[in-house]
């Protein structure tokens, strides 16, 4: 009985779970194109009824064979269509005996052409901007690679700027993005698997990895998780991110997002997988760790000592942005004895007129600051000046002289604000911004002990977190001494001989050892 139930369940499960977006499977069941051109015309007409942007052009090849050219206005290069398809085909001077096949072979001067067999194929090609040519008494249509639409050029990424380093960023067009990667990694080992997701948007997603470096199980897992997605549309890589995370209820990002091809390339070389989504400049990198979220691409372009120092600065400000408001609240409320007398006096003086307890004051200011920041992102350019003036008043001299907040609190909020902008990846900065508030409440309730309990809770959570099987805190916990060279420090490039342990185990060494530059080493010309 139980077995029957189980079998039945399996049957139900498999039938209800049939992916709607898997075009290849469906294509096999779809009716093929008809030999009769009129039938095809009728079919397409009914599919594209009320689509004013569709152009269906009826014409005669060499003045006798009926043919159809279908494309979407604005997605195809009309000039080239005229020049290389319509003009040569419509010429009447073709020899009488030449058959249609031969004409199609010889007259169309477009290199990227594909045969299409089914109606679904035709629709797909048209949607991608490739005009489709259907000819009477032919089983196959021809899709011509003449897509062209308005696109943004390669620009400097706004959210991840560097002083030294490439200035190009990904764009909204998948083709450009893949080409940016290919331009950096010329080896054919760079593989790009394409998947279509989205019932209506049919968004193209490319999984890029380097064969021989990335672990096959990882690639398979990424592919499986993406293929499992069944939703209306993918508008941004955030959709994919949220659907393939390991722990969907965590405030921490488990995939790295970047706009920079150099970051993506670096990750590929470490054995990670890059997921590019059509329609957004943000690509996803999996797996990721807390440490890699704290790195800036510039760390590798600057001198290693400076990079190491800047990393330490960044780590300490990471803690500051999380803890300073709550430490201020805790010490002011519970541990006044820690404050040196002179400082205590000046703090007490500035707090004399403040009607709120420290916790309320901190909350007020932090929320105001968050609001200002959010307003700063959303506001139209024209009103920017107004908001920054008002903002300076709200968090600043006016607020203190109004007796609503104390001057030290303004300092604390300002430092926290600056600290949270120091983190190179915005997504982890947001997580910290959010976690600041519960820790503030804990500190208001239990002082430094509460603060510590908050830290412990966060650490426990980080310890449970994994990104595609890689522990989020690696190589700190579980500890891997070998990988510390690129986490605690930024060791000189000639010492970074091995790839990170958990992603680069397939192909451990990334360069020849002992490459420390030394003028006495000599060489052929030495």
Positions in the binding site for other proteins (CB under 8 A):
331, 334-335, 337-338, 340, 446-449, 451-453, 455-457, 459-460, 463-464, 471, 473, 476-479
**Neighbour count for residue 79 (Cβ, 10 Å):** 10
Q: Six-digit token pair at 262?
A: 């150099």
SS (H, E, C) 400-458: HHCCCCCHHHHHHHHHHHHHHHCCCCHHHHHHHHHHHHHHHHHHHHHHHHHHHHHHHHH
Question: What's the CA gap between 284 and 257, in Å, rounded?
Answer: 5
Least spacing, CB of residue 177 vs other proteins, in Å: 36
Least spacing, CB of residue 522 vs other proteins, in Å: 43
**Neighbour count for residue 510 (Cβ, 10 Å):** 15
Q: Six-digit token pair at 10?
A: 């399996």
Cβ nearer to other proteins, comparing 117 with 484: 484
Cβ nearer to other proteins, comparing 316 with 464: 464
State the greatest distance between any 2 C-alpha atoms of the chain, in Å, as a whole number. Answer: 106
Cβ nearer to other proteins, comparing 362 with 473: 473
Residue pair 278/203 in contact (Cβ under 8 Å)? The answer is yes
Least spacing, CB of residue 501 vs other proteins, in Å: 13
Residue pair 305/487 in contact (Cβ under 8 Å)? The answer is no
**Neighbour count for residue 33 (Cβ, 10 Å):** 23
Least spacing, CB of residue 22 vs other proteins, in Å: 34
Least spacing, CB of residue 446 vs other proteins, in Å: 7
Cβ nearer to other proteins, comparing 463 with 496: 463
Beta strand 113-116 with 65-72 is unpaired
Question: What's the CA gap between 110 and 145, in Å, rounded?
Answer: 7
End-to-end Cα spacing for the chain: 84
Cβ nearer to other proteins, comparing 385 with 460: 460
Cβ nearer to other proteins, comparing 188 with 340: 340
Cβ nearer to other proteins, comparing 105 with 342: 342
């Amino acid at each position: 009985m139980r077995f029957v139930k189980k079998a039945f369940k399996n049957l139900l499960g498999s039938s209800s779970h049939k992916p709607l977006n898997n075009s290849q499977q469906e294509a096999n069941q779809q009716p093929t194109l008809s030999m009769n051109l009129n039938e095809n015309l009728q079919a397409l007409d009914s599919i594209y009824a009320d689509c004013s942007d569709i152009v269906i052009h009826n014409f005669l090849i060499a003045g006798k064979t009926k043919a159809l050219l279908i494309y979407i206005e604005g997605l195809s290069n009309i000039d080239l269509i005229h020049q290389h398809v319509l003009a040569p085909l419509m010429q009447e001077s073709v020899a009488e005996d030449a058959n249609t096949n031969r004409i199609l072979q010889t007259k169309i001067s477009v290199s990227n052409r594909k045969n299409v067999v089914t109606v679904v194929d035709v629709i797909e090609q048209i949607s991608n901007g490739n005009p489709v040519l259907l000819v009477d008494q032919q089983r196959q249509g021809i899709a011509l690679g003449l897509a062209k639409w308005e696109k943004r050029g390669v620009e400097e990424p706004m959210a991840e700027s560097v002083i030294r380093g490439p200035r190009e960023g990904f764009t909204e067009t998948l083709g450009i993005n893949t080409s940016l990667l290919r331009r950096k990694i010329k080896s054919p080992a760079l593989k790009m698997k394409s998947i279509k997701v989205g019932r209506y948007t049919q968004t193209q997603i490319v999984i890029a990895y380097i064969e021989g470096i990335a672990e096959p199980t990882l690639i398979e897992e990424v592919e499986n998780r993406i293929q499992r997605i069944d939703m209306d549309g993918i508008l941004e890589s955030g959709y994919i991110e949220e659907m393939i995370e390991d722990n969907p209820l965590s405030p921490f990002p488990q995939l790295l997002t970047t706009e920079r091809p150099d970051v993506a390339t670096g990750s590929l070389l470490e054995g990670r997988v890059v997921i590019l989504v059509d329609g957004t400049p943000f690509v996803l990198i999996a797996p990721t760790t807390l440490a890699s979220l704290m790195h800036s691409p510039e760390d590798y372009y600057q001198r290693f000592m400076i990079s190491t120092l800047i990393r330490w600065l960044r780590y300490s400000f990471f803690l500051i942005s999380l803890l300073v408001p709550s430490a201020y609240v805790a010490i002011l409320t519970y541990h006044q004895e820690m404050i040196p007398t002179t400082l205590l006096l000046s703090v007490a003086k500035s707090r004399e007129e403040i009607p709120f307890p420290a916790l309320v004051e901190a909350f007020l200011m932090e929320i105001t600051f968050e609001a200002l920041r959010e307003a700063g992102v959303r506001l139209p350019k024209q009103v920017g000046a107004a908001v920054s003036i008002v903002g300076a008043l709200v968090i600043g001299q006016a607020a203190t002289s109004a007796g609503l907040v104390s001057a030290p609190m303004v300092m604390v909020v300002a430092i926290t604000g600056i600290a949270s902008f120091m983190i190179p990846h915005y997504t982890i900065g947001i997580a910290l911004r959010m976690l600041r508030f519960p820790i503030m409440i804990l500190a208001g309730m239990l002082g430094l002990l509460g603060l510590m309990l908050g830290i412990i809770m966060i650490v426990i959570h980080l310890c449970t977190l994994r990104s595609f099987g890689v522990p989020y805190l690696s190589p700190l916990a579980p500890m891997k001494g070998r990988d510390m060279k690129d986490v605690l420090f930024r060791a000189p490039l000639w010492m970074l001989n091995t790839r990170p342990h958990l992603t680069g185990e397939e192909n451990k060494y990334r360069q020849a050892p002992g490459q420390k530059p030394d003028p006495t080493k000599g060489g052929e010309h030495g």
